[in-house]
C-alpha cells in the first residue's frame, strides 16, 4: 500500500499521552503534529521543520478543528 506524498493522518495515542491529533505530511515528511491530550487537557503543536508557512499552519489548525478534535473528552471522576 502506498500513501500520497502530501497527506493528513488522524491518529490517537494512549501511551504516554492520552488523546488524538492530526499529522501533516509533505513529500512523505512529517511537518506538523497538532495533538489534544485529554488527560492533561492540553492542545499542542509540534513543528518538525525549522519553519513552516503561516498558510500551512492555519490550514493544519483548521483541519484539526474540522476533524472534530478541538473538544476534550470528559472523563467521569
pLDDT tens, position by position, 6-36: 999 999 998 888 999 999 999 999 999 999 9
Q: What are phi and psi of 62, to 5 degrees?
A: -65, -40
pLDDT band at 53 (very low <50, low <70, confident <90, very high): very high
What pLDDT sits at residue 75?
77
Q: Is the pLDDT of residue 77 over 70?
A: no
Q: Over pLDDT 70: what percentage of the chain?
A: 95
What pLDDT sits at residue 1?
63
Amino acid at each position: 500500500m502506498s500513501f500520497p506524498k502530501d497527506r493528513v493522518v488522524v491518529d490517537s495515542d494512549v501511551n504516554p499521552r492520552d488523546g488524538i491529533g492530526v499529522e501533516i505530511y509533505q513529500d512523505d515528511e512529517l511537518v506538523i503534529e497538532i495533538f489534544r491530550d485529554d488527560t492533561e487537557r492540553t492542545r499542542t503543536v509540534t513543528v518538525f521543520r525549522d519553519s513552516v508557512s503561516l498558510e500551512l499552519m492555519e490550514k493544519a489548525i483548521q483541519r484539526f478543528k474540522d476533524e472534530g478534535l478541538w473538544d476534550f473528552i470528559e472523563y467521569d471522576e
